[in-house]
Amino acid sequence: MEHDASAAEDRDHKFLAIAIEESYKGVESGDGYPYGAVIVRNDEVVVSSHNIVLRNTDSTAHAEMIAIREASQKLDQVELPDCEIYASCEPCPMCFGAIHFSKIKRLVYGATAEAAGSIGFSSYTGDAWKDAGFPPLEIKKIDDSGAEEVFEKP
């Protein structure tokens, strides 16, 4: 049992690390802001995306939105109930809503929105809706993933 828990933890860290890597790509490429997201189905990465707000001239082009759109199209499924999403940072209200509407079953994230807020990015969260009657979504925050570092000044 202890072994299973540790394997699940390793799995979460592995996929979150890909999302964090994407968050750096988002900035280095000039595509947008430091956010990444990965959608996983059956232990496999379906898509790995980063924020492309600047590249697409589109304030809605957050990493999670792009990941949900691309995964839906790739899997040819309007909804993604068999998928999990790994986000480098706690999702904003828009993305939190999108995750719920996509029926994704599980959300794992690294940095807190507060950490993003500390350097001027949005610090809004989906907390206001925790009691709004949304369908159940398992949410897990991973500490010590290194996700906050992308928000640290160089």
Give the residues lining the site for a copy of itself (CB under 8 A).
53-54, 56-61, 65, 68-69, 72-73, 76-80, 92-98, 100-103, 122, 124, 128-129, 132-134
Name the minimum Å distance from CB 65 to a copy of itself: 6
CA–CA gap between residue 145 and residue 151 (Å, rounded) = 13
* Residue number, 37 or 142, with CB nearest to a copy of itself: 37
Q: What's the Cα-to-Cα distance from 52 to each of 4, 34, 41, 118, rounded to whole Å?
A: 36, 10, 23, 21
* Residue number, 11 or 103, with CB nearest to a copy of itself: 103
Name the minimum Å distance from CB 125 to a copy of itself: 9
Q: What's the Cα-to-Cα distance from 39 to each of 36, 120, 154, rounded to whole Å?
A: 10, 27, 29
CA–CA gap between residue 77 and residue 20 (Å, rounded) = 26
* Residue number, 97 or 146, with CB nearest to a copy of itself: 97
CA–CA gap between residue 42 and residue 5 (Å, rounded) = 17
Name the minimum Å distance from CB 152 to a copy of itself: 23
Active-site residues, by number, are 64
